[in-house]
Each structure stands twice: as structure tokens, then as C-alpha cells.
Amino acid sequence: MICKILMRPNQSIQQNPQSSISTKQAIGVFDSGVGGISVLQHIHALLPHEDLIYVADSKYAPYGSKTPEEITERCLALADFLIAKQVKALVVACNTATAAAIDAMREKYTLPIIGMEPAVKPAAEASKNGIVGVLATVGTLKSAQFAALLESYGRNVKVVTQACVGLVECVERGELHTENTKALIQQYCAPLLAEGADTIVLGCTHYPFVKSVIREVVGEKVTLIDTGAAVAKQLKRQLADSQLLAAETQPAEVTFWTNSEAENAAQIIAALWGKSAAVNRI
Ligand code: DGL
């Protein structure tokens, strides 16, 4: 059940103190657009009794080419939107947004906030030849968080990074298997393959939606790693620690919100979600 907070004009949105959060409240999940639906699928599979509210900030996608300040402003606006819907936890289903804004979000809000980062650590462990490729956005690859990640887990392997400009937009348009999408993927995977990467990290939540094309391009021998399942597990752990897991009898409701200006936004969301979807316009 989704509850609405009635607000007086000019009343600012305040985050509920954590003590008033109940297990029945939904989990808020957001991304710069539709990519985070790849994470939402893992969350729904692992936590089928949790109500989920997903926000696609598609009007402002891609985040990858924006400044950290611009991304932080969007993340705080989306968090306020979800908190006004009384969510009990927030998942930043976006590597770029996490790198730019997770610290500011944790400073402002006290509810559990789960972010994500490219899976460099599991990739370094999985790689047999010690050469790991990372596909991600410019924003993620330029971030201090990513530099710290390499410092911590990339020391004993060679990490080759590749920014995939334009690929997020293909997924936003629902173009998963077009010639243009495949050409971009070929262009971006080529340098990683040339360096001999045997493991490639999908460091952006939009990329799992083109995983079959990436697989076709890189071949069967390369290991592809994404972070969605790990994020869902981390969310479950954090909800359990805060005693916020929904009762297993609770039927789950998944609701989508989008500010996309595309007429077919609801169809794209339903196609990526894989079943019919309740899509609202912001
Ligand atoms: N899904 C976002 C991520 O994981 C894409 C960012 C963008 O909009 O460029 O990084």
C-alpha cells in the first residue's frame, strides 16, 4: 500500500526519524533513468514481499556527462520525492549517482541508503589472467570513489577502463538490439579485448539490459560481472539489521514513476521490467 504525506504549501519535506519507520513501508529505488530496473529485478526476486517504488529520472539522463554538483541536486530531489512517499530505505540504483552523491545523501537523511559501485573486487578475484575491463560512464570513471576502488582492489590486477558514451541513451530509447547499439558495444569492448581482459565489469546499471549483445561481441570465454544481485543482498542485510524486513505474508506492489518526455516511456519500462507495470508520470 502506498501512503501519501499531505503537505501544506511551503512546508519542506523532512525525513521521518528512523524510529517511526515501519516494516510495511516501501523501499524507494532510483536511477538516472530506466537502468536501475536491472537492480530492481534482483531486489524483487530476493525480497518478493517488499513494496517497491522506482523512480526513473529519464528527463535528466544521462548523469554520466553531468557534474557531481548537478547529479547531487537530482539525487536529493529524488530522495525527497521518495521520502514524501514514506519509503523505509533508499537504493541508489546507479553507479554514477552513488559516486557523486551518496555522501551528501547520507549526511542529509538518516534512513538506510544503499548505493553501488562497479564490481572491481569480485572481478579481480574472478580474473584468471589478471586483466579486468570496466565499462562505465565518464562520471563514474572520473570519480574519487572509483579511484579509491582501484586503489583498494585493483592493485594486483591490470584494470582497463572504457567510458561508454551514448550507450545509456540507447537503453533509454529501448534500443537494445539495434545496429547502432551493437556498433557502440563493439567500439567500446574492442580496447578491453585488445588488452586481453578475461573479465569485464558492467559498471552501469543500464548495461545488463544489453548483456546479450555484449556477450555476442566478447564471446563465451569472457566473464561478465554486474552488481545487481550483490546490491539486493546488501539491502536485505541492512533491512534485517534495522528490523525493517516486511512480513512474508505481505503481498508486494511495484510502482514506477518517470519524468520521461517520451510518449512510449511506459512501454519501455514494462518491456525492461518484463511484465506489466504500473507507470505514473511525475
Ligand atoms: N545507470 C547509471 C549508472 O549506473 C547510468 C548513468 C547515466 O545516466 O549516465 O551509472
Q: How far apart are CA 165 and CA 162, in angstroms?
A: 9
Q: Assess whether the previous peptide bond of 9 is cis (omega < 30° from 0).
A: no
- Predicted confidence at residue 170, as pLDDT, reads 98
Structural domains of the chain, with CATH: 3-116+229-281 (3.40.50.1860), 120-226 (3.40.50.1860)
Q: Choose which residue among 54, 98, 140 to substitute to test ligand 1 binding: the one with the highest number of ligand atoms within 8 A of its C-beta.
A: 140
The SS3 assignment for 160 reads strand
Q: How far apart are CA 36 and CA 21, in angstroms?
A: 24
For the question of residue 3 being annotated catalytic, the response is: no
The SS3 assignment for 30 reads strand
Task: Provide the whole-model pTM.
Answer: 0.92
Cα distances from 85 to residues 90, 114, 166, in angstroms, run 11, 18, 32
How far, in whole angstroms, is CA 195 from its chain's centroid? 28
- Predicted confidence at residue 14, as pLDDT, reads 42
- Predicted confidence at residue 249, as pLDDT, reads 84
Active-site position among 94, 164, 170, 189 = 94
Centre of ligand 1 to C-alpha 55, Å, is 13
- Predicted confidence at residue 256, as pLDDT, reads 98
- Predicted confidence at residue 195, as pLDDT, reads 98
- Predicted confidence at residue 20, as pLDDT, reads 72
Centre of ligand 1 to C-alpha 172, Å, is 10
- Predicted confidence at residue 250, as pLDDT, reads 72
- Which residue's CA lies nearest to atom 8 of ligand 1? 62
Residue ranges in the chain modelled with pLDDT below 70: 1-19
